[in-house]
Amino acid sequence: MKKNWVKLNLFYIGQSSKRHQIFRAKQWNTKLEHIIKKSIYNEKYEKVGFIKDVFGPVELPFISIKTLSNQSFSPDDKFFTKIA
């Protein structure tokens, strides 16, 4: 099965009490509903964490990202994921 890279258009909200990074989607497509538990990568295609949860309004949901402790994180990065 071929996996496709998808750029996530996100706006950084802040950090949750569980140390997850919370973003708001600027654009949303129904095919992106299956990104929960998928790995997330930066512009250099280095794994920075995974998508913990997608919640909130259906049109422009919030996305919770659990970052890896050994990877640097910048909310200004462009993020990508792979969908089937």
68 vs 50: CA distance, rounded Å: 8
- CA angle (44, 16, 58) in 5-degree steps: 80
**Could you report the per-residue pLDDT of 31-77, keeping only the tens digit for each?**
888 889 999 999 998 999 999 999 999 899 999 999 998 888 889 99
Burial of 36 per CB tally in 10 Å (0-12, 13-18, 19+): middle
Every domain of the chain and the residues it spans: 4-83
22 pLDDT higher than 80: yes
- The pLDDT of residue 78 is 94
Yes or no: is domain 4-83 CATH 3.30.360.10? no
Integer CA distances (angstroms), 24 to 5, 9, 38, 69, in order:
19, 9, 17, 22
